[in-house]
Amino acid sequence: IDHHPFQVNRNGHLEIGGMDTLELAERYGTPLYVYDVSIIRQNARAFVNTFKEMNVKAKVAYASKAFSTIAMLQVAKQENLCLDVISEGELYTALKADFPRERIHMHGNNKSHQEIKMAIENNIGCIVIDNLLDIKLIEEELTRQNKTIDVLLRVTPGIELKTHQYIMTGNEDSKFGFNLQNGQAKEAFNLLNQHDTINLKGLHCHIGSQIFETEGFRVAVDILFDELSNWYSEYDFVPEVLNLGGGFGIRYTKDDDPLPHSDYVRVSVEAVKKHSEALQIPMPEIWIEPGRSIVGNAGITLYTIGAIKNIPGVREYVSVDGGMTDNIRPALYQAKFEAVIANNPNAKVTNEVSIAGKACESGDMLIWDLPVPKLNHGDILAVFSTGAYSYSMASHYNRLPNAAVVFVEDGVDKLVVEREKFEDVVKNDLSYE
Ligand code: LLP
C-alpha cells in the first residue's frame, strides 16, 4: 500500500476517495472496479498545468482506449481535455458523453469508411492519418459532405524502446503510420501538402507505452525535425502541431519508478523549442495523448476470495471471483500487480500465495507470489493500478458478465457502469430451434 495513493481508515480497512472499500464491495458486489476521481483529475491537471507554466500552446488528449465510459469522458470533458478515439465505438461513447466534437481526435490503423463518415459528419477536430486508404476515404467523404478537415500525419520515427514488444508501436516494423526512413512519409506528405479539403496541420508519433524515461521523446522530436526541416526547405511547410503521443509510465509495483508527469512535458517542449528556434519557425502547438498515466493509478479492483488450494511445498493457489476477464494484462503481457487484503491491509504478512482467476485457463493468474497475511474465504482482495486497460479490455470468456464500475470522489460513491446481467450476456444470441 505504501507505493499506492490510498490509505487505511479508522476501521482498519482500505479506503479509496474517502470511502471504505468493504462498504463498496458490500453495496455493489465484486469483482468491482473503483476509481478515485480526484486522482484522475490530479493526473490530468499535472499535464495541463505544466504546459501552462511553460507558456506553451498545447492540447492534452485523453487516450480513451485506456478506459472509455460515458462517466469517464464526462470527467475528461470537465478537465478540458481533448479526446483520442480509435474506433466508431469509442467515438460513439464520446458523442453519448456529449464530448465537444472539436476536441475529439480520431486514430486507427484501419479506419472503416463508416468510421470516417461518422467522424466527418460529427465535425470532429482532427483525424490522424495512418495510411493511404485513410486519405482516399477522407477525400471521398469530404467531397460528399462538402467539408474540410484538419489532419495530422502519423509517422514511425523508428525508435525501439525497452517495453513489452506488444506495446511497442513506434519502431520501424510497425503496423502503424508512415515510415520516415523509406520515404513513405514524404509520399503521403506530398499528397496532403496544399490539399484543397484536407488541412495538414503537422505530424503525430507515438513511441510506445509504459515508458519510464524521457530520452525516447527527445530523440523522437529530433527525428521528426530531421524530416520537417527538409519539408520546410523544399516546400516551406511549417507544422502548426506536433503530437507526441502518450505512453508515460505508471507504477504497478514497487519496482516501477515513474517520472512525474511534468518531466515528459518539459523534455518534449524543450526539444521542440530548440528545433523550431534553429529552423526559425514559430513554436508549433504540442499535443500529447496520455491514457494510462491519467487513469491507471486512480483505479483498483476489488475481488472476493474463494477457494484456496494448498500444494504443500509447492504453492498456495488463492482464487478470486474475477481474473483475466476483467484484467487480461497479467495473462497477455505477464504484467505485474500488487494487492492487499482490503479488510486488513496492515495485517502481518505470513505467507506467499498466488492469486488465481476464475476462468477455465491455467494462464488465468492475476498475481504470482503475493505476500499476504492469513487469508480466509470471503476476504476482499484489492488489486492496485487497474485503472487503465482493464475494464476496457474485458471479455466474456466463460460467459462471465462484465464487472461494475464505481466512481468515488470526496467520500461520495456513484455507480457509473452497471454490472452486466446474464440477460446481457445472451442478449445477442438467437435461437436455432
Ligand atoms: N496514442 C496512441 C497512438 C496509442 O497507440 C496509445 C496506446 C496511446 C496514445 C496511449 O498510451 P498510454 O499513455 O496509455 O500508454 N493494452 C496495453 C497498452 C496498449 C497501448 C496502445 N496504444 C496495456 O495494457 O499495457
- Say which CATH number the domain at 264 has: 3.20.20.10
pLDDT at 136: 98
Asked if residue 286 belongs to a domain, the reply is yes
- The confidence score (pLDDT) of residue 333 equals 95
Q: Is the bond into 31 cis (omega within 30 degrees of 0)?
A: yes
C-beta 389 within 6 A of ligand 1: yes
Q: How confident is the model at residue 174 (pLDDT cuts 50, 70, 90)?
A: confident
CATH of the domain at 315: 2.40.37.10
CA distance 235 to 222: 20
354 contacts: CB under 8 Å, gap ≥ 6: 315, 316, 317, 318, 365, 367, 368, 369, 370
Its sign, for the CA torsion 32, 378, 370, 340, is positive
Q: What are phi and psi of 136, to 5 degrees?
A: -65, -50
141 and 251, same domain (yes or no): yes
DSSP readout, 300-363? EEEEEEEEEEEETTTEEEEEES-STTT--HHHHH-----EEETT-TTSPP-EEEEEE-SSS-TT
Contacts 24+ apart (CB under 8 A), 131-139: 131/177, 131/178, 132/188, 132/191, 135/188, 135/191, 135/192, 135/198, 137/111, 137/113, 138/198, 139/197, 139/198
Say yes or no to pLDDT of 323 above 80.
yes
Is residue 65 situated within a structural domain? no
Are residues 128 and 257 located together in one domain of the fold?
Answer: yes
The predicted structure's pLDDT at residue 172: 77
- Residue 129: which of 66, 193, 82 has the closest Cα? 193
Last residue of a domain, one of 237, 269, 290: 290
14 with 382: CB under 8 angstroms?
A: yes
Tell me whether residue 76 is in a domain. Answer: no
Q: Which residues contact 430 (CB under 8 A, 6 or more apart)?
A: none
> Is residue 295 within a helix (H) or strand (E), and if so which, with residue range?
helix 292-295
Q: How far is CA 91 from each of CA 103, 114, 241, 365, 368, rounded to the nearest angstrom?
A: 12, 12, 22, 33, 37
Identify the pLDDT of residue 411: 95
Chain mean pLDDT for the chain: 96
C-alpha cell at 395: 471479455
Same domain, 252 and 310: no
Question: Which residues, 6 or more positions from 96, have their beta carbon under 8 angstroms from its beta carbon?
Answer: 70
Cα angle 349, 355, 358; round to 5: 150
Do 268 and 395 lie in a common domain? no
* Nearest residue to 227 via CA among 185, 278, 287: 185
pLDDT of 154 > 90? The answer is yes
Distance of CA 247 from the midpoint of ligand 1 (Å): 6
Does one domain contain both 139 and 268? Answer: yes
Atom of ligand 1 nearest to the CA of 335: 25
User: Binning pLDDT at 50, 70 and 90, where does residue 1 land?
Assistant: confident
Minimum-distance ligand 1 atom for the alpha carbon of 290:
13
Place of cell 446474464: 422
Please indicate, yes or no, whether residues 254 and 392 belong to a single structural domain of this protein: no
Report the predicted TM-score, pTM, of the whole model to 2 decimal places: 0.97
- Domain termination residue (choose one: 268, 290, 312): 290
Task: Give residue 289 CA to ligand 1 midpoint distance, Å.
Answer: 9
- In a domain, residue 136? The reply is yes
Residue 246 near ligand 1, beta carbon < 6 Å: yes
Respond yes or no: is residue 360 known to be catalytic. Answer: yes
- DSSP string of 369-408, one letter each residue: EEEE----TTPEEEESS-SSSSGGG---GGGPPPPEEEEE
Q: Is 77 part of any domain?
A: no
Interatomic CA distance for residues 295 and 315, integer angstroms: 33
* Ligand 1 pocket check for 177: Cβ under 6 Å: no
- Per the structure, the count of domains in the chain is 2
DSSP state of 87: S
Whose cell is 472539436? That residue is: 102
pLDDT of residue 266: 97
Strand, helix or coil for residue 251:
coil
22 sits in which H/E element = helix 21-28
CB of 284 within 6 A of ligand 1: the answer is: no
User: Are residues 261 and 351 both part of a single domain?
Assistant: no
Mean pLDDT across 369-373: 97
Q: Are residues 118 and 154 in the same domain?
A: yes
Q: Find the largest Cα–Cα distance for the chain.
A: 73
User: Are 43 and 35 within 8 A, CB to CB?
Assistant: no
pLDDT in tens, 374-392: 999 999 999 999 999 999 9
Q: Is residue 74 part of a domain?
A: no
Domain end (from 290, 305, 329):
290
Q: Among 400, 361, 390, 382, which Cα is nearest to 305's?
A: 382
What residues are designated binding site for substrate? 292, 329, 333, 361, 389
* Res 17: pLDDT: 97
Question: How does pLDDT run across 81-115, given as a tens digit for each residue?
Answer: 999 999 999 999 999 999 999 999 999 999 999 99
Residues 6+ apart with CB under 8 A from 253: 3, 336, 337, 338
Dist. CA 431 → ligand 1 center (Å): 38
In a domain, 2, yes or no: no
Q: Is the CB of 66 under 6 A from ligand 1?
A: yes
Residue 178 has pLDDT above 70, yes or no: yes
Q: Output the pLDDT for position 223.
A: 94
Locate the ligand 1 atom nearest the alpha carbon of residue 332 and give its number: 24
Q: Which three cell numbers stand for residue 243?
A: 503530437
- Rounded to an integer, the average pLDDT of 255-269 is 96
Same domain for 205 and 235: yes
Are 252 and 128 found together in one domain?
A: yes
Task: Say what the pLDDT of residue 170 is.
Answer: 63
Q: Please, which residues have CB within 8 angstroms of residue 224's CB and are 6 or more apart in sequence?
A: 155, 157, 203, 205, 242
Å from CA of 32 to ligand 1 middle: 23
Containing structural domain, residue 271: 107-290
Give whole-number Cα distances, 346 to 8, 12, 31, 109, in Å.
8, 7, 22, 47
Coil/strand/helix, residue 97? coil
Same domain, 136 and 272: yes
Nearest CA to ligand 1 atom 18: 167
Residues 25 and 131 in one domain: no
Q: What is the mean pLDDT of residues 221-244?
A: 97
Is 94 contained in some domain? no
pLDDT digits (tens, 9 = 90+) for 298-311: 999 999 999 999 99
DSSP-assigned letters across all residues of 186-227 = HHHHHHHTT-SSEEEEEEE----SSB--SHHHHHHHHHHHHH
Whether pLDDT at 142 is above 80: yes
